[in-house]
């Protein structure tokens, strides 16, 4: 048994929380270096990168880690050595083994929650890092907290052309982020008994109810949150707001709300400046808006057009009921990750569930998921353990 396996899970979680606390400081040297590298890799402006790192590291603390572990695996005793789940005396949780994690090229730090929960499950972890070395840098901080992470937490940068690329069939579980074809290739390279945890490309949507459009002030508050959900990360992430449904019948109609939204996007662009890499796409955005205006003038329906998936641009659509929005998503084959709404009407919630959304929240909070949230509708730590029946 390795030294890492002898460390109590509660101690592992505490060390991770302590390392994350150091990374909350914008002046922490390792974070300063990582911030610059992330900005260079993604092209995102520094304020956007800082926002992403704040959301990531402020979400990681002892309470959040323990809540996930006990919520998915059992009572608090699990933190001291993987004792039986509450209410069960015939099964014990054990680490699944060695976990490989293949990071996304877009979402900042998306691999980190999977990595820290695999570590809390006492698995050895190898992350395919990105060029900014964010995960490698955080793992260095972990090793400063406890030397046992030296053997358990590793992150490397490689490409499929490298001669020494790790073999995927050496892992007991693999977490991968990417397009459908990428995930299929990864899955096919694993051993049949290995666990595959794949997260494909998704979009997010929002629904503004007629009741919430009771006046200009109320509409502006909703639009302010929606604008943040749109502009952050150049609308590239699965939690970016890509399509926005505005219900007919409010005091503020869909056309007026769209105008308010454009003003709020302009304000959000000041708080979170546009990415350098997206500057050359401004013309495409302007063209998409002009084309949309032309089609409306010609009597065309926004329901017929898919989202443009361009930086800082969401497809705003007027609808009479949630069923219209559901028909639109199904017609264009949009799989949802997040769903923002301005109210909690049961038919709107039913629509979000029917659309397959994995996260329901308010406008302005799409890009701030809690650590305990089930990314892609999947658990955080339960997939990194095996339940072993105890018959003696």
CB 100 within 8 A of CB 126: yes
366 located within any domain? no
pLDDT at residue 149, as a whole number: 96
For residues 52 and 195, state if they share a domain: yes
Task: Give the Cα separation of 46 and 272 in Å (integer).
Answer: 8
Count of domains observed in the chain: 2
Residue 37: HSE in the Cβ half-sphere, 13 Å Cα cutoff = 17
Task: Give the Cα separation of 195 and 100 in Å (integer).
Answer: 10
For residues 248 and 123, state if they share a domain: no
Assigned token pair, 232: 């952050």
For residues 256 and 348, state if they share a domain: yes
367 located within any domain? no
The enclosing domain of 344 has a CATH number of: 3.40.309.10
Lowest mean pLDDT among 73-77, 129-133, 255-259, 292-296: 292-296
Could you tell me the CA-to-CA distances from 372 to 101, 111, 351, 368 in Å, in that order?
Answer: 19, 15, 23, 12
pLDDT at residue 89, as a whole number: 55
CB 341 within 8 A of CB 352: yes
For the segment 69-80, the average pLDDT, to the nearest whole number, is 64
For the segment 313-342, the average pLDDT, to the nearest whole number, is 95
66 located within any domain? yes
On the question of pLDDT at 226 being above 50, the answer is: yes
The enclosing domain of 106 has a CATH number of: 3.40.605.10
On the question of pLDDT at 127 being above 50, the answer is: yes
For residues 169 and 226, state if they share a domain: no
For residues 312 and 377, state if they share a domain: no
- Token pair 């060390």 is found at 15
Q: What is the CA radius of gyration of the chain?
A: 22
Could you tell me the CA-to-CA distances from 299 to 256, 294, 303, 304, 306 in Å, in that order?
Answer: 18, 9, 12, 12, 17
For residues 31 and 139, state if they share a domain: yes
pLDDT at residue 82, as a whole number: 53
Q: What SS3 class is residue 37?
A: helix
327 located within any domain? yes
DSSP 60-116: -SHHHHHHHHHHHH-SGGGGGT--PPTT-SSEEEEE--EEEEE--SSSTTTHHHHHH
For residues 184 and 307, state if they share a domain: no
For residues 186 and 249, state if they share a domain: no
CB 208 within 8 A of CB 364: no
26 located within any domain? yes
On the question of pLDDT at 70 being above 90, the answer is: no
Residue 17, domain extent: 3-201+372-389
Q: Which residue has the higher pLDDT, 295 or 74?
A: 74
For residues 283 and 257, state if they share a domain: yes
- The beta strand positions in the chain, using DSSP E, are 91-95, 98-102, 124-128, 153-156, 173-177, 195-199, 203-208, 241-247, 315-319, 336-341, 359-361, 385-389
22 located within any domain? yes
Task: Give the Cα separation of 359 and 174 in Å (integer).
Answer: 23
For residues 19 and 132, state if they share a domain: yes
Lowest mean pLDDT among 265-274, 281-290, 300-309: 281-290
For residues 186 and 218, state if they share a domain: no
377 located within any domain? yes
pLDDT at residue 87, as a whole number: 54
303 located within any domain? yes
Could you tell me the CA-to-CA distances from 108 to 51, 104, 148, 375 in Å, in that order?
Answer: 10, 8, 26, 14
DSSP annotation of 274:
P
Angle between helical axes of 134-145 and 111-120 (0-180°, round to 10): 30
For residues 217 and 274, state if they share a domain: yes
pLDDT at residue 78, as a whole number: 44
pLDDT at residue 88, as a whole number: 53
Q: Which residue has the higher pLDDT, 122 or 277?
A: 122
Over the chain, what is the mean pLDDT?
88
């Amino acid at each position: 048994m390795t030294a890492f396996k002898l460390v109590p899970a509660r101690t592992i979680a505490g060390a991770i929380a302590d390392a994350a606390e150091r990374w909350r400081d914008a002046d922490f040297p390792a974070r300063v270096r990582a911030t610059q590298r992330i900005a260079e890799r993604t092209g995102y402006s520094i304020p956007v990168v800082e926002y992403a790192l704040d959301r990531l590291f402020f979400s990681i603390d002892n309470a959040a880690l323990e809540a996930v572990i006990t919520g998915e695996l059992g009572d608090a005793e699990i933190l001291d050595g993987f004792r039986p789940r509450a209410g069960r005396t015939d099964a014990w949780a054990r680490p699944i083994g060695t976990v490989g994690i293949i990071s996304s090229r877009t979402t900042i730090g998306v691999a980190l929650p999977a990595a820290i929960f695999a570590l809390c499950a006492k698995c050895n972890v190898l992350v395919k890092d990105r060029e900014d070395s964010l995960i490698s840098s955080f793992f260095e901080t972990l090793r400063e907290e406890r030397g046992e992470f030296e053997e358990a937490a590793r992150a490397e940068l490689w490409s499929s052309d490298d001669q020494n690329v790790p073999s995927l069939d050496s892992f007991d579980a693999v977490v991968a982020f990417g397009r459908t074809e990428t995930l299929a290739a990864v899955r096919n390279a694993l051993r049949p008994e290995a666990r595959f945890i794949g997260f494909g490309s998704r979009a997010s949507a929002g629904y503004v109810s007629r009741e919430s459009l009771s006046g200009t002030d109320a509409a502006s508050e909703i639009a302010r949150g929606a604008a943040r959900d749109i502009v952050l990360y150049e609308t590239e992430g699965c939690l970016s707001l890509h399509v926005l449904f505005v219900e007919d019948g409010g005091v503020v109609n869909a056309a007026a709300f769209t105008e308010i939204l454009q003003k709020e996007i302009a304000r959000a662009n000041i708080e979170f400046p546009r990415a350098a890499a997206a500057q050359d796409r401004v013309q495409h955005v302007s063209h998409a808006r002009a084309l949309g205006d032309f089609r409306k003038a010609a009597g065309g329906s926004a329901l017929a057009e898919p989202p443009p998936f361009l930086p800082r641009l969401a497809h705003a659509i007027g609808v009479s009921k949630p069923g219209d929005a559901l028909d639109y998503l199904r017609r264009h084959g949009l799989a949802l990750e997040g769903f923002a709404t301005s109210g909690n009407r049961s038919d709107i919630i039913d629509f979000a569930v029917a659309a397959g959304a994995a996260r329901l929240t308010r406008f302005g909070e799409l890009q701030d998921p809690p650590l305990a949230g089930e990314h892609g509708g999947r658990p955080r730590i339960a997939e990194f353990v095996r339940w072993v029946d105890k018959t003696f």
